[in-house]
Amino acid sequence: MAKPIQMTEAAIDAALANAREQLLAQKSADGKIKVEVKLPALEKRARIQFTPVAYAKMLKLIHGFATEVAWHGIVTKLGEGQFRISDILVYPQMVTGATVRTDERVYAAWLLKQDDDTFNNLRMQGHSHVNMKPSPSAQDMTDQGIILHQMGSGCQFYIFMIWNKKLEYSIRIYDLEANLLYETEDIDITIGDEDTDLDAFFAGAKKVVGVTTPGAKTIVKPAAQYPDDYPFPGYDDEPPGCGRGYQCKSGKPVQRRQKA
């Protein structure tokens, strides 16, 4: 579930009240009392849509380098919790099998060469962990903290990604405008162009795809309605006892007669 990035006045008041209850309820055995403040979790999800070219470029980097490699993404916020990555750019860096390092002066010069539209939309930093787990290291978390601290008031969001060659990933979205942190389990990844609706495509596919399990007696037929001669136009229906589009219970192919 999404979490707040900064505490609001209402959240602070609630946390102080909760801390007071904890302090009153505890007894100290060593001169110390521990108070824990948990930030409220919210039932909200985010979606990141890669354009096909952006996703292809990222995969080429992940699979093409035997070392780590890092990249930036050009990102547009489409709405609350909705983001589209339209392109991937690689900046100057030095890499090993487990590290990525940049020269700040060289990196700053590279940034200044970008046009205004590109510069203003470089809102994603990603890198590969080659064959290791994509969990962020202590250095990764330090680097993320530095970038977040440097973000100006005009920067509404930033995305951090770590991938490996198995295409396992770890993602964090800091949506400062909405004051929400989305983590991997809160984020859906899709691939498509701006007008692509993969959910609608998949829903349509499920309507025409039947499922049968070898050895099972039940058959889940497609939900869509078909003409009587589907899926073999010009032929009669199957004999009784045969599911449309499937073999008879005997396992032998259905013998169909051509219509006169």
Question: Which tokens is 140 given?
Answer: 């990764």
Residues 182 and 229 in one domain: no
Same domain (yes/no): 126, 238: no
The reported pLDDT for the residue numbered 226 is 54
Look at 60-64, 156-160, 196-200, 213-217 and tell me which has the smallest mean pLDDT.
213-217
Confidence of residue 193 (pLDDT cuts 50, 70, 90): confident
Residues 246 and 161 in one domain: no
The residues near 229 (Cβ < 8 Å, ≥ 6 apart) are 235, 236, 237
The contacts of residue 231 (CB under 8 Å, 6+ apart) are 244, 245
Average pLDDT over residues 83-101: 95
Asked whether residue 63 falls in the same domain as residue 183, the answer is yes
Q: Are residues 96 and 145 in the same domain?
A: yes
Give the pLDDT of residue 198.
78
Q: Which residue has the higher pLDDT, 202 or 259?
A: 202
Average confidence (pLDDT) over 242-259: 47
d(CA 128, CA 245): 46
Within a domain: residue 61? yes
Q: Where are the beta strands (DSSP E) in the chain?
A: 3-4, 46-50, 70-79, 82-89, 94-95, 100-101, 122-128, 157-163, 169-175, 180-183, 187-191, 211-212, 219-220
How far apart are the C-alpha atoms of 69 and 62, rounded to whole Å?
7
CATH number at residue 56: 3.40.140.10
Cα–Cα distance, 164 to 78 (Å, whole number): 27
Whether residue 6 is contained in a domain is answered as no
pTM of the model: 0.72
Could you tell me which residues are beta bridge partners of residue 18? Answer: none
- Residue 82 — very low, low, confident or very high, per pLDDT cuts 50/70/90? very high
CA 101 to chain centre: 26
List the single range of 72-81, 103-112, 173-182, 229-238 with lowest mean pLDDT. Answer: 229-238
Contact 199, 47 (CB under 8 A): no
CA distances (Å), origin 40, targets 54, 70, 171, 178: 34, 33, 20, 14
Q: What is the tally of structural domains in the chain?
A: 2
Q: Are residues 231 and 121 in the same domain?
A: no
In a shared domain, residues 236 and 164: no
Same domain, 145 and 74: yes
- The answer to whether 71 touches 122, Cβ cutoff 8 Å, is no
Asked if omega into 231 is within 30° of 0 (cis), the reply is: yes
250: CB partners within 8 A, 6+ apart: none
Taking residue 134's Cβ as centre, other Cβ atoms within 10 Å add up to: 19
Same domain, 113 and 242: no
SS3 state of residue 31: coil
Provide the pLDDT for residue 224.
59
Shared-domain flag, residues 114 and 185 = yes
User: Do 158 and 147 touch, CB atoms closer than 8 A?
Assistant: yes
Q: Quick check: is 183 in a domain?
A: yes
179 and 114 belong to one structural domain: yes
56 and 98 assigned to the same domain: yes
| 30 assigned to some structural domain | no
Domain end position, chosen among 174, 197, 220 = 197
Domain assignment of residue 186, given as a range: 46-197
Q: Return d(Cα 81, Cα 47) in angstroms, integer.
A: 6
CA atoms within 13 A on the CB side of 116: 0
Least confident segment among 1-15, 176-190, 214-228: 214-228
**38 belongs to a structural domain:** no
177 in a domain, yes or no?
Answer: yes
Task: Give a yes or no: residue 172 inside a domain.
Answer: yes
Are 68 and 95 in contact by the 8 Å Cβ rule? The answer is: yes
- pLDDT tens per residue across span 211-225: 877 776 655 666 655
Q: Is residue 215 part of a domain?
A: yes
